[in-house]
Amino acid sequence: MEKEILLQLHNVSVHYGGIRALDDVDISLDEGEIVALMGPNGAGKSTVLKMIFGLAPIRSGKVLWHEKEIKPVSYEIAQRGISFVPQGRRVFSHLTIEENLEIGGFNVSDKNELKRRIAEVMETFSVLKEKRKAKAGTLSGGQQQMLALARGLMTEPKILLLDEPSLGLAPKIVKEVFAKIREINEKHKTAILIVEHNIKSLLSIASRGYILDKGKVVAEDASQKLFESGILEKIFMGKSI
């Protein structure tokens, strides 16, 4: 059965002042797949995610959702089924785990449905279930990242946008976070577009990848082929393609 294309970017450009953060970028995401966005600092990776979620203005180009053009506005994007987990584990530290999840389910008006979603998310993240009444600020960095992921699932998204989920975490915790990302993808069939500096961990879960450099897509292929091609080393060492 052929997978549906959920999201497409066609010749998208984003400018910050006089700087071209993205320059005629083409990216697509099919239902249920994990796609990696890679490249050096300043390549435009995070801008792709922010632009999709309506947090960076499009200068030119088109964003297609189920092959129909849309104008990304944050609250509308969330309602369409796209969730964004920004880098930095931005949890509400003074609120409990449960309260953080309730905020994640902002679009759920039915209280019983909200409880059901919280229970379902906590089954995926058992460490959160054990500490559900604890303040988020008392959690370890890894647990806060789990909470950020869990909160992103409260809207039951079709697409999860992840920006540097392993940033600042110890290697053991990084492994746990990536195992959870794979589990989310397999269990909920959630498509995931992920920016991550930990290339080895990223390519172990992604089926495809895009490499960006200076705001342009310079390569796109299956993860294994990108890894074997040597292009990543060239880009990260500052050599032109």
Q: What is the pLDDT along the chain (241 residues), one digit of tens a residue?
A: 567 899 999 999 999 888 889 999 999 999 999 999 999 988 999 999 999 999 999 999 999 999 999 999 888 898 899 999 998 778 899 999 999 999 998 888 899 999 999 999 998 888 898 899 999 999 998 899 999 999 999 999 999 999 999 888 888 888 888 999 999 999 889 999 999 988 888 999 999 999 999 999 999 999 989 888 888 777 776 655 4
Does 167 map to a domain? yes
**Cβ proximity of 85 and 152 under 8 Å:** yes
Residue 197 lies in a domain: yes
User: How far apart are the C-alpha atoms of 66 and 170, rounded to whole Å?
Assistant: 38
Residue 220 lies in a domain: yes
**Number of folded domains in the chain?**
1
- The tokens 């584990």 sit on which residue? 89
Cβ(69)–Cβ(148) below 8 Å:
no
Residue 122 counted as domain residue: yes
The answer as to whether 241 is a domain residue is: no
Whole-prediction pTM value? 0.91
Could you tell me the CATH number of the domain that includes residue 136?
A: 3.40.50.300
Q: Tell me, yes or no, whether 156 lies in a domain.
A: yes
87 located within any domain:
yes
Give pLDDT, residue 237: 67
CA distances from 102 to 24, 97, 125, 135, 181 (A): 38, 9, 15, 14, 21
Q: Residue 70: inside a domain, yes or no?
A: yes
Domain hosting residue 36, numbered range? 5-236
